[in-house]
Amino acid sequence: MCNEHTAKHEPSGTNLFDAQQATAMLRHMIEGMPPAGNL
Q: What pLDDT score was predicted for residue 5?
A: 59
Q: Helix, strand, or coil here: 12?
A: coil
Q: What pLDDT score was predicted for residue 16?
A: 77
What Å distances lie between residue 20 and 12, 29, 37, CA to CA? Answer: 20, 14, 29
Q: What pLDDT score was predicted for residue 26?
A: 92
Among the ranges 9-13, 26-30, 34-38, which has the highest mean pLDDT value? Answer: 26-30
**DSSP single-letter state for residue 34:** P
Distance CA 17, CA 39 (A): 30
Average pLDDT estimate for 9-17: 70
Q: Are 17 and 25 in contact (CB under 8 A)?
A: yes
Counting residues of the chain whose pLDDT is more than 70, the rounded percentage is 56
Average pLDDT estimate for 2-10: 61
Q: Are 24 and 16 in contact (CB under 8 A)?
A: no
pTM, rounded to two decimals = 0.45
